[in-house]
Amino acid sequence: MKRELIFLGPPACGKGTQTNKLSEYLGFPHIDTGSLLRAEIAKATPDGLVAKSFIDKGQLVPPELVGNIIRNRLSEEDCSNGYVLDGYPRSLAQAEMLEKINDDVDKEAADFKAIYFDIDTELLIERIVNRQSCPKCGEIYNKKFKPSKVENICDKCNVELKTRADDNEEIARARFDTYFRETAPLIEFYEKKGVLHKMDANGSIEEVWDRLLNIVNN
């Protein structure tokens, strides 16, 4: 049976790390909406050009356009057995849109799971203020939880790691307030449908991975 997996969780909760591992484990594409948009823009597709026109003005890309880009991606052959979708949906309207997309794309019954990364906010603050990334390969590090072998240098590329200007406590707390306010209705939406799986996302990468596999394989 086709498996459709979406991930919900606040910034720095570990979704990116775990979804990359899970995508490789299952052999399903990991679809990150931010990367998907950037790819469409880079390829100068019709949807990408329209998206770029909004982004260049500092405006949000219309939800209908994002939905169309996701629909096209989920219709591709490599998604026929399943997908791992990260960063979408972020609102009730997008959740309802995703349901319609799946109904249109699916040729057979599918196992849909929404996995919520439940984690302590104070731990997230620590993760964010200590986060670093490689400007070349995109690898994520953390000075406290996942440091590079050589301080401030990427293990893979041997280039200096960068820290985002907005990775500070004040901005992080504001982002969390916004996230929890907007996501609460989504959690209720998927709970009512009986497809929400809350997962303890506190602990090491390996501990969270074991919990994730337990949900995915059952």
Q: Which of 21, 90, 136, 143 is catalytic?
A: 90
Q: Which of 73, 127, 131, 211 is catalytic?
A: 131
Q: What are 179's two structure tokens?
A: 């996230």
Q: What are 173's two structure tokens?
A: 């707390």
Q: 164 catalytic, yes or no?
A: yes
Q: 175 catalytic, yes or no?
A: yes
CA distance 111 to 84: 12
Cβ–Cβ under 8 Å, residues 98 and 70:
yes
Q: Which of 100, 144, 156, 164 is catalytic?
A: 164
Q: For 119-215, where are the E strands, in sequence order?
A: 131-133, 140-142, 196-200
Secondary structure class of 59 (helix, strand, coil): coil
Q: Which of 3, 38, 175, 198 is catalytic?
A: 175
Q: Which of 15, 73, 127, 211 is catalytic?
A: 15
CA distance 106 to 127: 38
What is the per-residue burial (b if ≥16 Cβ within 10 Å, else e) of 20-42? ebbbeebebbbbbbeebbeebbe
The stretches of 43-168 forming alpha helices (DSSP H) are: 46-55, 63-74, 92-105, 121-129
β-strands 110-118, 2-8 pairing: parallel
Q: 90 catalytic, yes or no?
A: yes
Q: 198 catalytic, yes or no?
A: no
Single out the residue of 111, 127, 110, 108 nearest to residue 119, CA to CA: 127
**Catalytic annotation, residues:** 15, 90, 131, 164, 175
